[in-house]
């Protein structure tokens, strides 16, 4: 049994990872900002798999003091899944809400850094552990409106690579999982509750599901200890990159 800490576990990838890991005999600590959702997840897991499989913490990963205080007792984490993150808006950079930019930077970058820094000392001391960062193909491939969101995921990509360098010789593994189009609450959050706009993103496609990503995350952690999966880029079959955009004068 491994002890798995999952951030952003109230929905989507985080919730799916919790269910997937517990079903395979692991113990999960799940964090998020919505206590009601976390409690519902615990009840679901208790009913499906029995008691004492999961615990939860209500906090915001952007709050550095809270992260370090809440994680202080967890010095025996085997796997940290840095899943908490979000995208807000699709406006061009010259017309966006800078509050949205701040929220994405604070969550996708600062929050991920705080959680990693809080958990790493215990892993280094025990010379074992695995950091899973949930990045995005947006960290590699640009698209209109992804200005700061894509930049935050590019940070996650490079941070993951640099962690591998820092942790050389500690036996700690680091993996950046980079999903493409996935159907979850991601688009509802991006469009601030506009379900019609969110549904249009997935119209007439077969996107990835949260459980597709949970299966990939689990696989990356289950390969032999001497194997490190550096990065996994995954898209649905219906998605691919396109040609360069060229503006032509009339």
Active-site residues, by number, are 149
Report the C-alpha gap between 2 and 65 in whole angstroms: 26
Instruction: Give Cα 115 distance to the centre of its chain.
Output: 12
Unique residue bearing structure tokens 């979000």: 86
DSSP H stretches of helix in the chain: 12-23, 35-49, 64-71, 98-104, 112-126, 147-166, 186-190, 195-201, 210-222
The angle that helices 35-49 and 12-23 make with each other, rounded to 10 degrees, is 20
Q: Is residue 77 within 8 Å of 4, Cβ to Cβ?
A: yes
Report the C-alpha gap between 62 and 98 in whole angstroms: 17
Q: Is residue 41 within 8 Å of 16, Cβ to Cβ?
A: no
Bridge partners of 134, per DSSP, are 177
Residue 114 CB neighbours (<10 A): 22
Instruction: Give Cα 66 distance to the centre of its chain.
Output: 19
* DSSP helix, strand, coil percent of the chain (3-state; round to 5): 45, 15, 40
Instruction: Give Cα 241 distance to the centre of its chain.
Output: 22
In 3D space, the residue among 208, 191, 195, 185 whose CA is nearest the CA of residue 85 turns out to be 185
């Amino acid at each position: 049994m491994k002890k798995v800490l999952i951030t952003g576990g109230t929905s989507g990838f985080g919730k799916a990872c919790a269910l997937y890991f517990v079903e395979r005999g692991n113990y999960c600590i799940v964090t998020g900002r919505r206590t009601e959702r976390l409690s519902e997840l615990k009840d679901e897991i208790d009913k499906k798999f029995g008691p004492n499989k999961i615990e939860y913490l209500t906090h915001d990963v952007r709050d550095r003091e809270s992260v370090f205080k809440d994680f202080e007792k967890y010095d025996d984490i085997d796997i940290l899944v840095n899943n908490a993150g979000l995208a807000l808006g699709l406006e061009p950079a010259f017309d966006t809400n800078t509050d949205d930019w701040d929220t994405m930077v604070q969550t996708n970058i600062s929050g991920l850094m705080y959680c990693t820094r809080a958990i790493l000392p215990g892993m280094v001391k025990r010379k074992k552990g695995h950091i899973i960062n949930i990045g995005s193909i947006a960290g590699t491939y640009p698209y209109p409106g992804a200005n700061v969101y894509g930049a935050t995921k590019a940070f996650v990509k490079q941070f993951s690579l640099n962690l591998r360098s820092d942790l050389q010789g500690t036996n700690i593994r680091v993996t950046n999982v980079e999903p493409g189009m996935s159907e979850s609450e991601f688009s509802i959050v991006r469009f601030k509750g506009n379900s019609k706009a969110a549904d249009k993103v997935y119209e007439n496609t077969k996107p990835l599901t949260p459980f597709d990503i949970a299966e990939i995350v689990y696989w990356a952690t289950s390969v032999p200890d001497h194997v490190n999966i550096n990065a996994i880029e995954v898209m649905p079959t219906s998605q691919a990159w396109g040609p360069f955009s060229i503006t032509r004068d009339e």
